[in-house]
Structure 1
Amino acid sequence: MKRFVTEASFWELFPQAAIGIVVAEGMRSAAEVSTEDAAEIEHLLDRANILAERHLTSDTISENAPVKAWREAYRAFKTKKGARCSIENLLKRVLKGNPVGHITPAVDIYNAISLKYALPVGGEDIDAFEGDLRLGITEGGDAFLPLGENEHEDPTLPGELCYRDDAGAVCRCWNWRDGVRTALTDDSKNAFLIIECVEPERVEDCQAAIDELAELVERYLGATIKAKELITSEHREAVIAE
């Protein structure tokens, strides 16, 4: 059995946070998605790039509410210099007139949800996890090979908030950068999808986002949704694989 566990050190920093999770089993590979469905997914992402504009009320990226909330959150723990929440990177592209492009059906789906709701969304391959997945403050030194790299190991810092399992870090600086080891690929079958919210007034948005994410993954990727939960300080862990 594998679990997703949010540690006390996380809740001490963010007692009002909410984390939506979706466990999807038996997803179609990118090659197995029909041409029609792939086209519909691309349309969803194109539409989401447009919908994201409603979250951008200022031409200065840091002055927009979703970005401001996450920059404030990042001040609460140790981060690598220049690290930013994933939603800031997506919204910055929209702000600059450079819409988020198509990658693979699975990634396109969760990027579409991220843009629509202005919430960070990520995905990991459950089969690649070693033991439980945990979110909390680390003592540092957790092994990590960033996506896009093939040689340099970049371990976590003492006091950094990160996702990690028994083999090392899974995602650095909470939701800044994924590692190669557990990243979703075109052939991943079982996915752990996650949506994070640090604004108490937006918990309903987080719930709506995980509902829609689960629906899209089930519809277009043929997945069986094994779990769909909202993790809070009152409900801190969930089973993600038997």
Structure 2
Amino acid sequence: MKKFVIEDSFWSLFPNAKIGIVICNGIDNSIRNKEQYAEMISEAEKEALKYLQNAEFSNNSVIKVWREAFQKFKTKKGARSSIESLLKRVHNGNHIGTINPLVDIYNSSSLKYALPCGGEDIDKFVGDIRLTTAVGNEEFIPLGTDENSLPYEGEIVYKDDKGAICRCWNWREAVRTMLTEGTNNAFLCIELTDESRIVEFQNALNYLAKTVQNNLGGTSKISILDINNKKIVIE
């Protein structure tokens, strides 16, 4: 039985963080209506503009909080949070393309609520998955390349027994566990470091779970982890 565990090395850096998990089982992620998901993303892009009221992109609070978080651990040069990457595209007028339903749904959730969202295929995990600091020898093949790119020692990563599956907390994910049209069981996450946004965090989780279940079937279960609740069973 696989578990998701957040280790103390993470909590020592981010004691007030909350990690929201949506476990989706028995879903059908095969592409049916690309126009539907393109419209979903387009609407989310419009909603995301409310988080970018400051003309100086880096001065918007949803950007500042993640830049400050990334300063607390060693990161690859130029690495930014996934929500900054999405909002930067919106800020520059570049539309987010469709990939597959699960990714489109979590990108929409991310944009609507200005929080990092990500996802992995549970069936591709080797052993338990952990949010922790890297040793520095974890295998990591990022999307778009076939070269091993080891994380730095002390870098925040999601990893399993085979290697890292997401580097620099939520910056770049591995091809090995990525969501595909054939994914039936998914591990989706939303990350919060700003305690003042707990309502938006909860709303984002509810939107994510409901939208996946309504569109892809199966079941979706929400769990919230914090320093007092550090692990859950994911299958």
TM range (shorter): over 0.9
Q: Is the 8 A contact 1:207 1:230 kept in 2?
A: no
Alignment of 1:1-242 (within 5 A): 1-31=1-31, 33=32, 35=33, 38-150=34-146, 152-225=147-220, 227-241=221-235
Residue-by-residue CA offset, 1:200-236 (whole Å, 9 max, x unaligned) = 11122111111110000000011212x3111111111
Aligned mates of 1:236, 1:40 — CA distance in 2? 36
Aligned mates of 1:118, 1:140 — CA distance in 2? 30
Secondary structure of the equivalent of 1:13? Answer: coil
How many pairs were matched up?
235
Q: Is the 8 A contact 1:59 1:95 kept in 2?
A: no
Letter in 2 for 1:154: S
Secondary structure of the equivalent of 1:93? Answer: helix
Give the root-mean-square deviation of aligned CA atoms. 1.1
Aligned mates of 1:120, 1:92 — CA distance in 2? 13
Aligned mates of 2:84, 2:56 — CA distance in 1? 12
Runs of 5+ unmatched residues, structure 2 = none
Aligned mates of 1:164, 1:70 — CA distance in 2? 21
TM-score for both structures, normalised by structure 1: 0.94
Aligned mates of 1:156, 1:108 — CA distance in 2? 27
Aligned mates of 1:191, 1:27 — CA distance in 2? 8
Q: Is the 8 A contact 1:19 1:206 kept in 2?
A: no
